[in-house]
Amino acid sequence: MKDKRGSKKEPKAAFAERQQGNNNSRPTDSNIQSTDNTIEPTAGDPLSNGNDTRSNGNVPRANGAKPEKSAMKKSPVFYVIMLFVWSALAAGFWYQIITTALGGRGFILAGEDLSDARYYAALTVIILNGVFISYFWLNGVKDFIYVVWYYVFRGAMYKRYLPVLDTDVSGANDRVLLVYCTCNDFDGSSLIKSMGQSYGNFQTVILDDSSDPDYKAAVDKFSAEHGVRVVRRADRKGFKAGNINNFLLSEEGKNMYDYAVILDSDEILPPDFITSCLKYFYSFENVGIVQASHVSTRNGNFFMRLFHIGVNAHWPTYQTMKHFYGFSTMLGHGAMIKRECYEKAGGFPPLVAEDLCLSIAARNAGYYVAFAPNIVCEEEYPVDYVAFKKRHSKWTQGNLEFIKRFTGKIFRSPMKWYEKLDIVLFTYNLPLTAVFAFFILMNLTAAPLIHVNLHAVYPLWMVIPTVVFFFSPMLNDFIRWAFCQNPLRTLAYSVCVILLYGSMLTTSLISALLGMLGKKATFIVTPKTSEKMTLGFALRFQWKEFALSSALLCVAIVSGYFGAGAGFTPLASVFSVILIIATGYLSIILLFFSNRKYAPADFEAYDRKTTLKTLKYNKLFNYEKANRP
């Protein structure tokens, strides 16, 4: 059944509160003054609530000298070491496969037909398994070493940022344009905070693609009250990318700015956002985009409260590593773009993954994306399981569209080999879900029917790296949160994360298959409001997950039955895919997490607690706070 919750209007009371900013943690109209679209700064930090209790950190202060403008550079050392580790593991694994294959036909159970047809069929299954496992290990090694490397060397990496943070931009007078993008999700209170910049020479423009009359009216009211320009277009061609290009590539838009800041509807910029970003542009001649870090706030229900800490942990770890050793990307919002970079890249490519595509176009034009861990913005986690699932579908469609349109450009690009490898390992995974599904079906059906003795092929030691790499995507969360919260909460969080992402298999598979069959990717606006979940809606919404789990269960039982006597049993076959089956059936529980709501005072206090724990480890953020004039 088609889900229509995204088209329902937000309750009037909640809608009015979001537009007026009644919450005490957000500034009201009296906190700002508008004069020709330039906003006077609001006092304080959006997360401090008037009392900055964050640690000053212990990063040593640099000598204070203004560095000369230099070129940003990256190092291949991480990927050289990662590939060495993976090659060693893969070599041992393939040695076992090759020696088994060349040593006779012992991998087909005794007593079976040892014809050439059965031999080559079994050999095909073994080789395809080996290829899939090798690729799985490659991603696992990357995830594991990415996290370990960050925590071992983060002090050294952070010191390399210090000359940037000490750059003097007090005399800067560049024209900056805050570009606020909205489509039926306008949040006036977030925009007010973002407009409270300490930098003087900036303007704000709202690019409104909304079709809902209530949201359009709210945008118009905000514009009238605060002197903000609103731009609308006749259609939504090109989605968000088209909306931005429609203005920034116009003659009027080109003459309004030197730098543009891209904001999503829920974005909250810190007061020093512009000033801090300018330090990167003034330090590096080849930086065209500065991407800020983020924490998740306004977590008003249990679903958001439980899962948002993963966002807080992800940004500084993975993006800092990409800044030095991989391919840094703009991540859609909380980013500042140099006009000449934007124009040389041709604007945002009109695709669903417009941010990733712009980053590659900018890199091909000679510009890097710099990640700024010292600049911490606020964003909202998806409001419920429905919103999370819609966003995941958009990401899968967008990545597949990206693969189709940009793979050739990547390999022809002048960027370094390790940047290209970083792109492939981080963006090709979601669409490859169809390959993963084929791998499962092959092992559930072909292996038992051919009577392949897998135990005779694969060494027992391979279980250890496979299990380690399976849990590697959760390693960063565990290191960051396991020792600063209740152990039972950490365990519950880990189980729920497996359930959440495991249940995305069906969505990824459907999106990938439809994309491969020619369905055009669609930019899905992530819902910003949540309704009470009922059992009836939950059952209808999750029927595809139930169907896939049931189908896998039946195939496992039947294949185990026909493979009896070859080391296969129905129970063993079911156990091999139990995680997929269980997450499909149990995912319905996640829909009801958002029914548990929290009062503003409650979730603001909890948000501040998790934010402070996040920033405690961000030495650059604390260094800049301590040395801010």
Cβ-based burial of 499 (10 A; exposed 0-12, middle 13-18, buried ≥19): middle
Tens of pLDDT, residues 448-494: 777 776 666 777 888 899 889 988 999 999 988 887 777 888 888 99
Greater model confidence, 406 or 27: 406
Give the model's pLDDT for residue 21: 47
**More reliable by pLDDT, 186 or 28:** 186
Quick count: other Cβ atoms within 10 Å of Cβ 369?
A: 27
Nearest to 398 by CA among 578, 217, 522: 522
Q: What is the pLDDT of residue 246?
A: 94
pLDDT of 109 above 60: no
What residues are paired with 263 via a beta bridge? 180
The residue type at 271: P
Residue 44 has pLDDT above 60, yes or no: no
Does residue 46 carry a pLDDT above 70?
no
Q: Is the pLDDT of residue 66 over 60?
A: no
**What tens digit of pLDDT does each residue of 369-391 get?**
999 999 999 999 999 999 999 99
Portion of the chain with pLDDT greater than 70, in percent: 83
CB proximity list for 445: less than 8 A, separation 6 or greater: 555, 559
**Of residues 118, 33, 124, the one with CA closest to residue 442:** 124
> CB-based contacts of 168: which residues, under 8 Å, 6+ apart?
66
Whole-number mean pLDDT of the chain? 83
Q: Looking at this protein, which amino acid is placed at residue 31?
A: N
Which pLDDT belongs to residue 16? 52
Q: Which residues of 68-80 are buried (b: 16+ CB within 10 A; e: fewer)?
A: eeeebebeeebbe
Region for 13 from its dihedrals, namely left if φ exceeds 0, alpha if ψ lies in -120 to 50, beta otherwise: alpha
pLDDT at 19: 52
**Pairwise CA distance, residues 365 & 367, whole Å:** 6
For the ranges 57-71, 113-127, 209-223, 609-623, the lowest mean pLDDT is seen at: 57-71
Question: Count of residues for the chain?
Answer: 629
Summarised one tens digit per residue, pLDDT across range 309-349 is 999 999 999 999 999 999 999 998 999 999 999 999 999 99
d(CA 306, CA 513): 31
Name the band, by pLDDT with cuts 50, 70 and 90, for residue 405.
confident
pLDDT value at residue 574: 79
DSSP string, 568-616: --HHHHHHHTHHHHHHHHHTHHHHGGGGSB--HHHHHHHHHHHHHHHHH
Alpha-helical runs (H) found in 368-458: 385-412, 417-427, 433-441, 447-450
Q: Which of 76-80, 220-224, 310-314 has the lowest mean pLDDT?
A: 310-314
* 209 pLDDT higher than 70: yes
- What is the reported pLDDT for 446? 73
Predicted TM-score (pTM) of this structure: 0.84
Give the residue extent of every domain in the chain: 8-70+160-415+598-626
Q: Under the phi-then-psi rule, with left for phi > 0, alpha for psi from -120 to 50, and beta for the rest, what region is 244?
A: alpha
Read off the amino acid at residue 173: N
pLDDT value at position 316? 93
Q: DSSP code of 445? A: I
Query: How much is the pLDDT for 28?
Result: 32
Q: Which CATH number fits domain 8-70+160-415+598-626: 3.40.50.720, 3.90.550.10, 3.20.20.70, 3.10.110.10?
A: 3.90.550.10
For residue 35, give the 3-state DSSP assignment. Answer: strand
The pLDDT, as a whole number, for residue 97 is 81
Q: Is the dihedral of CA 47, 49, 51, 53 positive or negative?
A: negative
Rounded mean pLDDT, 110-115:
56
pLDDT for the residue numbered 78: 97
- Residue-wise over 596-628: b if at least 16 C-beta within 10 A, else e? eebeeeebbeebbebbebbbebbbbbbbbbeee
* Residue of higher predicted confidence among 368 and 513: 368
> So what's the pLDDT on residue 564?
62
Check: CB of residue 381 under 8 Å from CB of residue 593.
no
Residue 454 gets which letter from DSSP? Answer: G
Nearest to 339 by CA among 415, 288, 283: 288
Tens of pLDDT, residues 144-193: 999 999 999 998 999 999 999 999 999 999 999 999 999 999 999 999 99
Tokens of 619: 């030495």
Summarised one tens digit per residue, pLDDT across range 582-602 is 999 999 999 999 999 999 999
The more confident residue out of 609 and 2 is: 609
pLDDT greater than 90 at residue 68: no
203: left (phi over 0), alpha (psi -120 to 50) or beta: beta
Please give the pLDDT value at position 482.
Answer: 80
Instruction: Report the pLDDT value the prediction gives residue 460, as an integer from 0 to 100.
Output: 80
SS3 217: helix
pLDDT in tens, 511-522: 888 877 777 777
- Tell which residue, 285, 365, 369, has the closest CA to residue 329: 369
pLDDT for residue 439: 80
**Which pLDDT band, with edges at 50, 70 and 90, does 37 fall under?**
very low
User: Looking at the predicted structure, is the pLDDT value of residue 571 above 50?
Assistant: yes
Instruction: Please determine, for residue 537, whether its predicted confidence score (pLDDT) is greater than 50.
Output: yes
How far, CA to CA in Å, does 279 sit from each of 41, 69, 166? 19, 10, 8
Confidence of residue 569 (pLDDT cuts 50, 70, 90): confident
36-50, 108-122, 169-183, 262-276: range with lowest mean pLDDT: 36-50
Predicted confidence at residue 258, as pLDDT, reads 96
Q: How many CB atoms lie under 10 A from the CB of residue 589?
A: 14
pLDDT at position 270 is 96
| 562, pLDDT greater than 50 | yes
Mean pLDDT of 416-442: 83
Q: Please give the pLDDT value at position 261.
A: 97
**Is residue 69 scored above 80 in pLDDT?**
no
Give the single-character DSSP code of 524: P
Taking 80 as the threshold, does the pLDDT of residue 15 lie above it? no
Q: So what's the pLDDT on residue 104?
A: 61
Task: With beta carbons less than 8 A apart as the criterion, state whether 310 and 485 touch.
Answer: no
Residue 259: phi and psi, rounded to 5, are: -135, 145
Residue 429 has what pLDDT?
78
**Alpha-carbon span 185 to 266, nearest angstrom:** 8
Residue 138 parent element (H or E): helix 116-159
Model confidence at 546, in pLDDT bands (50, 70, 90)? very high
Mean pLDDT of 389-397: 88
Residue 432: band (very low, low, confident or very high) from pLDDT cuts 50, 70, 90: confident
Q: Is 36 left (phi over 0), alpha (psi -120 to 50) or beta?
A: left
Distance CA 475, CA 485 (A): 16
Which residue, among 153, 129, 131, 132, has the nearest Cα to 81 in the 3D structure?
153
